Structure formats: structure tokens, C-alpha cells
Structure 1
Amino acid sequence: MTRKIFFWFDTMDFSNKLLKWYGRNARDLPWRNTSNPYFIWISEVILQQTRVNQGIPYYYRFIEEFPTVQALANAPIDKLMKVWQGLGYYSRARNLKEGAIQIVNEYHGQIPNTFDELLKIKGIGPYSAAAIASFAFGRAVPAVDGNVYRILARVFGIFTPIDSSKGKKEFFELAKELISKKEPGRFNQAIIDFGALQCTPKSPRCSDCPFSDYCYAFQNNLITSLPVKGKKKPPKNRFFYYFMIKYGNYTFIKRRRENDIWHSLYEFPLYEHEKQLKMNEIGLLINSINFLKDTQPTIRYVSEPVKHVLSHRIIWATFIIVHISKPNYILNSEYHLTSVEDLSTYSFPRLIDGYMVAEPVAKYFICLK
């Protein structure tokens, strides 16, 4: 069911009320004090799947390390991943670099100034393209994200699922009608803040909302029902067994290159199984794993499974400290031998990095001579 906009509802009134609210409640964020399209692009990518407070220090660090499109295009992938480490969704960082290379090669290092041209850049989708176009170049294109879906669905009573093609088109067209033509960038910033501060997912501040007089959801007690989302598939469980191999004061790591999670990040030798293994099963397995054959492995520690939740899967990771007498051909040829003291210089997924920082046994592994 889709509820059409009231004929008496003035879109200019919506924009004016929103901008008036923004004038009193705007957040002071560092990327709002610049019209530099590169800085705005970086901020938008960082804020995807990241809370603002968490993203701010990463934003400062990123533009300090890579202050221009050219610097990002030329950045070594290991350095880029280390700067990004902890933010998750690492494809964002890889896409940023590929997009920067494309801008340098195809646009002479100048970020395009229109919505349609921005969409041609690797990793820039409709939301980021609209944000850059409106914030940096004053283009009247709505930046429609989860905040906007929620606000418009509630105020106008739209029941079309927001994760459907029909819904995305419908919400974009409505936002395009509502956006201030004189201050499009400010309008987009305002509606983002309104969703973050006022019309929040849970416990929205309806009592002092400027739209409460004609908000469909508020008037009909449907705040918790809107917006509507389609059914999601349950996350898939995956069972990882990481072998923290000690060979003297050295260990072995490998960069992930498969078309899978955490591409370009480093990890310890990994064995993935279809189910959770018991302790005795791990002991029986150790001599049959290809990277441990003929190494005379001795298990020193097996952790409890560590749960790590991603958007579409749940990782159950078990960390196993193993001492070996000698590396075999596979370890020598497919893995990188590094001093355990140098592990902190590599970029690891948050799961591994967090384990090494938090767990006493992992610290013991790193410090053990």
C-alpha cells in the first residue's frame, strides 16, 4: 500500500520547516566546513556503515595520510588498509583507491561535478554521488539514505518496501520534489541530521517534531511500522580455524585475495570447516592440514570460539597456537614469514586484530621468544 501525498501539503513548507529545524540543531562536523569534493567523498564513504563519532578520527587520519586524489591513487595498498583498519567493510577502501585511479586517468585528477558523471566512478553509488554533487557543487539532487527513507515513510505514510526497486525509485522521486532548489546541500544535510537526532529509528522525538501535525505515522500510531522492509535471509554461519604458528620468533601470515570477505587484509593460516569442531577433532585434524604436514606441530593452546557478526554471515573463529620444528613447502611458498614483533605493522580484519589486542594468550604468543 502506498499513500499519496496530500494535495494540500506544500512541499515548500516541508523544506522550510526542515531547514528552520536544521538552523537550530545542526551538528558541527568537520566535512561540513569544506566544499572540497575529495574531502566530502572521503567522509561519505567512511560514514557508510559507520557511526559519526567513530568515523571522525578516521576521516582526519585519512585526509592527513592521503590529502589529494593523486595521493590516494598512488597509495600502497598495505598502507591504505592499515589506515582503514578497524572500520570494517574493507571493499570501501579498495573502491576508493580504484575510484581515485579512475579520476586521475579519466578526469585529469578532477572529481566530476555532476550526479551522472559521479555515478561512473568506481564505488560511488547514488547516495554518495548526490551528496558530493549537492554539498560540493550545489546540484539539486537528493541524497537518499536510511534516514531519508524513515522520515519520508513516516511523514507521508509510504508502505512500499524501502529495499525494493519500486521503493527506491518512489522515495527518490519524492525527495527530488521536496529538496530545496536554492539550498540543496543544506537540505540534504538537514534531513540527514533530522533522521539522526529527531526522527530516530527507536524512540523518535515526536512531541517536539515540526511535522507532527501532519505526520501520517504519528497521527495513526504507526511509528514502529514504518518504514517497511522486505524479509532478509538469515545470516550464514562460517567456522574459521586460525593457526597462529610459532617458528622460533617468527610466524606465518597471508594476504586474502579470494573474492570473499576481507580481501587484501592479512590473516594467519586458515582452515575453514563446515561445522564447529570439538577439541579431539582439532587434534586429529592437525596432521592432515596441508600447511602443517611434516612440520612436527605441537598444539599449545586452543581458544573458545569467538563470535564475529557481519552483515550476511556470522564467523565463529577458533584461534590455535601451534609450535613447529620446521616449515614445509606450502608455508614457505604460499605464506609470508614475519617476526611476531612486526605483526602490528600489518592490516588484519577486526576479528583477528581485536583478538590479538584483547586476549592474554595472544599477547603471550606475540611476546614469546
Structure 2
Amino acid sequence: MSEFSTRILDWYDAHARQLPWRVSPQARRRGVMPDPYRVWLSEVMLQQTTIPHGIRYFLRFTELWPTVEDLARADREDVMREWAGLGYYARARNLYACAQLVSSQGGFPRVASELKKLPGIGPYTAGAIASIAFDERVAAVDGNVERVMTRFLAIDTPLPKAKQVVAEALEPRLPDHRFGDFTQALMDLGATICTPRGPACLTCPLSDDCAAHAAGREEAFPVKAPKKPKPVRHGIVKLIHNGKHMAIERRPDKGLLAGMNGLPTSDWNVIGEGEPIPEPDSTDQGKYLGRVEHVFTHFKLFLDVYEEQRTAPLDGLTTPLSSLGEAGLPSVFAKAANLLVT
């Protein structure tokens, strides 16, 4: 093996994190292999999500649906409801579709090239599953790996273009065995030692040969392309209730938050650059409760929240006010609902 991979694996043997989907390096030496279902589920959940937050959802999902076949047989609405709060809801729809396809095919493909053909699985996730679950010799480049490698080699190509440069630089440094351990070792190194700010270089197994460390410029890498300002949108949302139940609605199967439970809302209109956000108008909408802000991937949203209390029974879908947290509302709507209950 290269000296690079040897250092990484030696460090991992001593410092591997204990995670509910992971098989320790000691157990892998005894022939224990990870469950590809659990590896896949964790990788999908941890996209854009911290590990402490993701673990709670992972444990809940694996309690409800211990195998990919169980998940495939689940009611889609139950899966979407349990996903609420993790964000990026297209992942949940792809998760469900992928589970059904994998179940129908008798299991997960064992190589990255085939895994990439499944719903919701891109190059990184395919590489992670293939290397961790099946020990394929393939690179898996996530944000942690990008940070480690761009610092180690002082790669000044801005992200996201640097991802391909990192993958090419990593290829000759892959070990000749223990590919799954190597993938997880790089992830752990980036998450615990080579952190975005204040990296612990004195305890890093790569620091002696790290170009960024030698130049005292660790935090200059990875280089990021300038961020474009997010467009701003504005709308209203109504909390319609009768004191015991609140009206909810099922969002369309296509578009933002597709298939999720939501609250009655207006269109989310784009606010031109430099234009003010409209002032609340309680005359026509009901009792004004306040304004919530939520940041999506591609825009920032401001919602004015109004309460409309009725005495008659509510039509359509409802949820008890006493258990709003169990309604599976996405975060943006949960923020709005919290203005009523707090």
C-alpha cells in the first residue's frame, strides 16, 4: 500500500467513530461485513444533515423498517411523514423508489457503476456504498474527503470543479485492500481532525506531508467559488383550526416538498432585487401571528402567518392541534405552526 493509505488506515484502526450503521475495523477483520441497506440509508440521510441529527432518523427508520424489503412494502405516506424534518424531500421520494427497485431485484448491486443507476444515487453515494458494503476499490468523494485532499495537495481549483481533481488524485492513493475502511477513515479524518475551522493538525496522520499545513494556510482550502445571492420569495400561510384540529393539505406529487403534508399557502412570489417584502395585511387574511423565514437550496422564503379560527367542523385533511409534531410537516410549515402553539 502507499504510505498515504497506510497512515490513514493505521489512524482509523485507533480512532474510528462508532456509528449505528458501521462495522468497526476490528469486526471487519473477523469477516463481518456491513449491511448495504444500512449503509445506503445512512448515506442518503446524511446528505446535507449532521450526524447527530441523522442518527435519530436512522434509528427510527431501521426500527420501523429493518430491511430494504420492509421499506419497499411500507406506505409511501408513512415514509414521507417519518422523513419530515430532514429536508430535501426529493431524497425521501427517491429513497422509497429505490427501495422498491432494489427489493424487486433481490438486493443491491455490488459495484458503483450499477449502483449509480438506482434512483437518488449519484457518484459519491455509489462509491460509498460499493466500497463500504462490498469492498470495491473505488473512490468516494464527499465534503470531508474534499477538504482533506485539497489541503493535503493544496489544490486551488474552486469547488465544485475540484471534486473531479480530488477523485483523480485519490485514485493512485487507494490501498490494495480494506477499501471500505479507507473510505470511512477519510470521512472520519475530515469530520474530526481536518475540520473546516481550527483543524487539529498536530494529531493528523498526514500533517508531515500536508502542503496546506506546511504553508500555514489550512483554512484557505478547499477554495470555494463565490456564492451567488439567493433569490427571495414571499407568501402567506394560514393556520385554519377549530380549537381542536388544524386543516392541512397534501402537496402535489411534483415540485417543491412534493407529496408532503403542508398548510394552506399562497403562491410564493419572487421579490425583485432591492424590492421590499410586502407588509402584512390582516384585513383580509385573519389574525396576523408573525413572519417566518426559511432557506431552501435555491431561494430564501418569507411567509406571513395568519390564524383563522372556525366553529364549524373542518373539511378535508386535518391533524389534532395537540399532536402537530406528529403530522409530518416539513420544517417551513412547522415553523409557521409553532407561532400558534407557542
TM-score normalized by the length of structure 1: 0.82
Shift of 1:316: 1.2
Instruction: Identify which of 129, 134, 141 aligns with 1:137.
Output: 134
Whether 2:290 is the aligned partner of 1:304: answer yes
Unaligned ranges ≥5, structure 2:
24-32, 272-276
CA deviation map 1:72-113 (0-9, x unaligned)? 1221122102211221112111111111122233x2x31111
Shift of 1:145: 0.5
Shift of 1:256: 1.4
Per the alignment, residue 320 of structure 1 pairs with 306
- Give aligned-pair identity as a percent: 36
Shift of 1:222: 2.2
Per the alignment, residue 31 of structure 1 pairs with 21
Whether 2:235 is the aligned partner of 1:240: answer yes
- For 2:13, the aligned partner's letter is G
Per the alignment, residue 6 of structure 1 pairs with none
Give the distance between the partners of 2:279 and 2:157, measured in 1 at CA: 47
Per the alignment, residue 283 of structure 1 pairs with 283
Per the alignment, residue 154 of structure 1 pairs with 151
Shift of 1:265: 1.4
- For 1:122, the aligned partner's letter is P
CA contact (8 A) 2:231 2:270 kept: no
CA deviation map 1:145-197 (0-9, x unaligned)? 01111111111121122302xx3322112212111121100100100000001
- SS state of the match for residue 97, structure 2? helix
CA contact (8 A) 1:237 1:315 kept: yes
Give the distance between the partners of 1:321 and 1:354, measured in 2 at CA: 14
Give the distance between the partners of 2:323 and 2:8, measured in 1 at CA: 52
Moved over 6 A (4+): none
Instruction: Identify which of 165, 170, 182 aligns with 2:177.
Output: 182
Per the alignment, residue 47 of structure 2 pairs with 48
Whether 2:168 is the aligned partner of 1:173: answer yes
Per the alignment, residue 367 of structure 1 pairs with none
CA deviation map 1:213-265 (0-9, x unaligned)? 22111112222221112223211212131111235754422111164322211
Whether 2:329 is the aligned partner of 1:348: answer yes
CA contact (8 A) 1:134 1:184 kept: yes
Give the distance between the partners of 1:211 and 1:278, measured in 2 at CA: 55
CA contact (8 A) 2:41 2:58 kept: yes
Give the distance between the partners of 2:130 and 2:270, measured in 1 at CA: 46
Give the distance between the partners of 1:261 and 1:236, measured in 2 at CA: 15
- For 1:226, the aligned partner's letter is F
| Aligned residue runs from structure 1 range 8-19, under 5 A | 12-19=2-9
Unaligned ranges ≥5, structure 1:
1-10, 287-298, 365-369
Give the distance between the partners of 1:342 and 1:201, measured in 2 at CA: 39
Q: Classify 1:44/1:350 alpha carbon distance in 2 versus 1 (closer, same or farther; 3 Å).
A: same
Q: Classify 1:316/1:181 alpha carbon distance in 2 versus 1 (closer, same or farther; 3 Å).
A: same
Per the alignment, residue 79 of structure 1 pairs with 78
TM-score normalized by the length of structure 2: 0.88
- For 1:232, the aligned partner's letter is K
Q: Classify 1:239/1:258 alpha carbon distance in 2 versus 1 (closer, same or farther; 3 Å).
A: farther
- For 2:283, the aligned partner's letter is G
Give the distance between the partners of 1:252 and 1:70, measured in 2 at CA: 34
- For 2:131, the aligned partner's letter is S
Q: Classify 1:216/1:248 alpha carbon distance in 2 versus 1 (closer, same or farther; 3 Å).
A: closer
Per the alignment, residue 268 of structure 1 pairs with 263
Instruction: Identify which of 11, 35, 54 aligns with 1:21.
Output: 11
CA contact (8 A) 1:27 1:193 kept: yes
